[in-house]
Amino acid sequence: MDHLWSPWRMAYIRGEKQPVEGCIFCALPHTEGEQQIIARSQFVYVTLNLYPYNNGHVMIVPYAHIDTSEALSVEALTDLMLTTNKTLGALRKLYGAPAFNMGANLGRAAGAGIADHFHFHIVPRWAGDSNFMTTIGDTRVIPDTLDNTYRELKAVWAELYGTEGQS
């Protein structure tokens, strides 16, 4: 019998969360230590999703605490989309992903886990990546750790784009 291990999911299953004062997306770029931030630009930053749907699932998050993309300035929207394109390039290089789901859940009724701070998801996809675990067991198998994903994606980002714009 084969065993599948994803120990980082237990905190999510149990509903365990580290207490954060205020908004997690506002606090994240200002906390000390490795926080899974892949890149930073003038108006947004790229971070790993701690509860990914697939390997390489990232979010692009504005520094501004806003609840919808409609509240972003033209400059911030431009930065969001240019950073999205760079992120796609880095994910293609690292994973060879042939497809992506991209989007945002605006509001709690749309499924936003953090509805008060707009964030844009990018999920790499491969043909047949939904298997019996997802369809029958309501479980996703992520074949790599978040720490390894972070190291590899950050290295590819630096290779492709350097570290300009990084703080």
Q: Catalytic residues, which ones?
A: 119
What does the DSSP assignment read for 56-98? T-EEEEESS--SSGGGS-HHHHHHHHHHHHHHHHHHHHHH--S
Whole-number Å distance between alpha carbons of 164 and 36 = 18
Question: Kindly report the CA angle at 69 between 67 and 72, in degrees rounded to 5?
Answer: 100
In whole angstroms, what is the distance from residue 65 CA to residue 88 CA?
24
Query: What is the distance between the alpha carbons of residues 57 and 15, in angstroms, rounded to a whole number?
Result: 20
Q: Is the CB of residue 63 less than 8 Å from the CB of residue 44? A: yes
Tokens of 141: 């198998």
Separation of alpha carbons 20 and 58, rounded Å:
20
